[in-house]
Chains A and B, each alone.
Chain A
């Protein structure tokens, strides 16, 4: 402000350039750090999502740090002196600046949008999230039959208040632990028997509402062996928080082996933390809470599995 517009203030420009350089470096560093804030990458979609998030973190860091720099500067150096009650210079605006800070953000957000649409398309290619054409048809005519809609779907996922059931019709196996083969695109057919649930595996970076009255085909490709959490992501009532099970990704051979061994096991009640807690609640003489929907009985399955083992993400 002290410089006249005609003569460039070289020290100020140099200082600004150094500061912007530091901000750019910091933004890159934050973009790099962003990967470590996310769970392990266990599906083919995860690296794409993480790459986009890392890019956005870098951009966001630059914008936020830039704005905060200006705020810090004015709070440090543009304070009114103690007994100074005069006004500052009456600058009312600058059309050129207005155009610059309209056009640059516009280009920036459209750039991000373009990048995102491309990521959407890639995720769509490796496992289409664009499932609506099929399931619309299904919901109108035959909500439960998956085969008519998506022949590839090999696993039926049934969400209830509050349990997850996984059916492998080809192998005649039912389970409350989702087993998936490594590096192969699997189709899931998502159904709900009561309210809206959310199929969410953070390590896969994928989420889909499971809507009663619809049968939704959902595809994904696991890329890392391990045990991961599947959480209900759409609020579904009293035991919503306890409605989580594990996903086990294993090699194709182990997966087939598991299916074979599971099919020989007798049916038994599957995992349902809600049913267990509900029984405990009923056994108390005094009720400590409000009314609740009674949990659906645990599904009868060959393999209950576990949801208390250590998980990778």
Chain B
């Protein structure tokens, strides 16, 4: 271990370091600081996670018995539609954009995002469309109830005939979400391509930035298709066009193409940054460089390319010709290859390491476990005949919840714990964190594993009642869902109590390598201000002893890591 004692004489940085502005009011304002916007995104997303989770628990309450007895069927249909929509558009995308905002500028040594005002505008659209979506619970007839796919013609049925109806508000909200995401994507791509610190070539960039870049490229290519498709749906609904209405010569299957052209790649928009989180965390907590950095980086771009040509695998039973089924099965299968490269790279990174199993590492390992499970069921779903049997059954629901909750949400938790000290300046409580992990891991598997046998037995998704032979696995799944609800309690307790009375965080509590760890915790408004470092080596120099930047000794905070912070977090 080589901890260089800090010699103030060496430091070129102004001492004391500039402090971050410290007013809570900035979190409620049109602030253009990416770090404020990042926390705004994450806090907003967590509120919607609670709402979406509550809806899910009501659904699982309904499904704990075969009959439709807890809520009316119309209510159930509204619940599952809103659950999916909230979790994707108001939890997952915003929380990832929050991480992008916090991490990208700090990781590449930029003072802020390329377009700070656009950034703030993109964020403030989130509460706007969030309120629009929530308001749809209050309009006559209730919220949208045609699933988060909103397939026509069922989504166009509007039984009460009002112009303002749940479905219309849903479409407006989704379109605004698309606009917000496009604004964000322009910003992230520009920032990563144009604002890197001197010496930080693309192949010295942390993998998180690679994955964020890849994910945001997908947003730029795919979102216009969804947003355009959604607008045509809105026209069909409110002004009587017939893009998708068969009685007017439209084609309902056309919508499915628009929808999945974006919404399958959207899964990669979600999972790629989480791959980035895994790639950042495993080296830190295994004390080894990321295995095969260049392959892992390039695999992200291969995934981007392939993700744009797989969408028809959602439509195998929709009436597509056999050659199309075969073609899209092959492209879908191919995605396993770059994904496999990443998984094997992580395993090789862990192999022979010196693992430290704290909360972020546990979440990352748990997320990897769940992701591999989702991956092997994904291969099954890619093969047409098996997909024909389990398509639109609980097998698919189980598969994608393993991806979205088991891997992505757990990866997000890992990221929140890992970077919490950096951006709040406070240490979280390790014991509560590990409790949160344990409950989440058990709850995830108890909730989502039983969905696979249910789907194989032939239980369709989106049902408010089911045949009695499905009861056993549904009871287990519901218990898992309630456990997941409980698992949020230690998480929130941890966030709030460590923000209020947590121990002051050092600049680099994990002894991690990366530009963000050269900054004080929390970083000042402009990050490195005038002292932007010159990067001289790759991002994961664990064990090699090479400095990351020129004159690293002048960034004194990099070395204020204390062994006691790491080893006995409880006793502090």
Contacts and interface: CB of A to CB of B under 8 A. Distances in A.
Interface in B445-475: 453, 456-458, 460-467
Interface in A81-102: 81-94, 97-98, 101-102
Nearest to B294: A93
B347 interface: yes
Interface stretch (B45-53, B221-229, B353-361): B353-361
A14 interface: no
A194 B287 contact: no
Contact of A209 (B319, B330, B337, B368): B319
Interface stretch (B12-20, B111-119, B266-274, B321-329): B321-329
A105 B350 contact: no
B399 to A, nearest CB: 12
B340 to A, nearest CB: 4
B317 A209 contact: yes
B453 A196 contact: no
A87 B348 contact: no
A129 B556 CA distance: 68
A185 interface: no
Interface stretch (A167-175, A197-205, A249-257): A197-205
A109 B1 contact: no
Interface stretch (B122-130, B389-397, B516-524): B389-397
A80 B287 contact: yes
A10 interface: no
A144 interface: no
From B159, B166, B330, B337, name the one whose CB has the most chain A CB atoms within 10 angstroms. Answer: B337
Nearest to B154: A195
A231 interface: yes
Given A113-B333, A213-B246, A216-B319, A88 B354 contact: yes
From A67, A89, A131, A133, name the one whose CB has the most chain B CB atoms within 10 angstroms. Answer: A67
B383 A207 contact: no
B134 interface: no
A88 B385 contact: no
A194 B380 CA distance: 32
Contacts of A232: 460
A174 to B, nearest CB: 24
B74 interface: yes
A56 B347 contact: no
A67 B253 contact: no
B365 A289 contact: no
Contact of B287 (A87, A135, A195, A216): A87
A211 B154 contact: no
Interface in A228-251: 229, 231-242, 244
B317 A293 contact: no
A194 B391 CA distance: 22
Contacts of B68: 241-242
From A57, A60, A124, A194, name the one whose CB has the most chain B CB atoms within 10 angstroms. Answer: A60
Dominant SS among interface residues on chain A: mixed
A49 interface: yes
Contacts of B379: 56, 59-60, 109, 112
Interface string B310-351: 000000011111100110011001101100110110011011
Interface string B275-294: 00000000000111101111
B131 to A, nearest CB: 20
A211 B348 CA distance: 49
Contact of A78 (B151, B336, B343, B350): B350
A4 interface: no
Nearest to A218: B319
Contact of B74 (A81, A113, A214, A238): A238
Given A78-B350, A112-B379, A293-B157, A85 B1 contact: yes
Interface in B132-160: 140-143, 145-147, 151, 153-154, 157, 159-160
A64 B347 CA distance: 13
Given A52-B385, A196-B154, A39 B457 contact: yes
B377 A60 contact: yes
Contact of B383 (A102, A112, A212): A112
Contacts of A206: 388-389
B542 interface: yes
B288 A90 contact: yes
A233 B340 contact: no
Nearest to B376: A60
A147 interface: no
B340 A93 contact: no
B355 A80 contact: yes
B369 interface: yes
A292 B158 CA distance: 8
B12 to A, nearest CB: 27
A81 B1 CA distance: 14
Contacts of A133: 321
- List 8 A-B pairs, minimum CB-CB distance, nearest first: A202-B458, A290-B142, A213-B246, A289-B72, A90-B543, A60-B376, A291-B141, A241-B463
21 contacts: A38-B457, A60-B377, A71-B369, A78-B354, A87-B354, A112-B333, A116-B383, A120-B322, A120-B384, A124-B322, A203-B458, A205-B385, A205-B388, A206-B389, A213-B251, A240-B464, A288-B71, A290-B75, A291-B140, A292-B73, A311-B467
Given A49-B386, A102-B341, A241-B68, 12 more contacts: A60-B380, A71-B350, A71-B365, A86-B354, A113-B383, A133-B321, A198-B317, A240-B77, A288-B72, A290-B143, A292-B73, A292-B74
Interface of A: 1, 37-39, 45, 48-49, 52-53, 56-57, 59-61, 63-64, 67-68, 70-71, 74-75, 78-94, 97-98, 101-102, 105-106, 109-110, 112-113, 116-117, 119-120, 123-124, 129-133, 135, 194-196, 198, 200, 202-203, 205-209, 211-214, 216, 229, 231-242, 244, 277, 281, 288-294, 311, 313
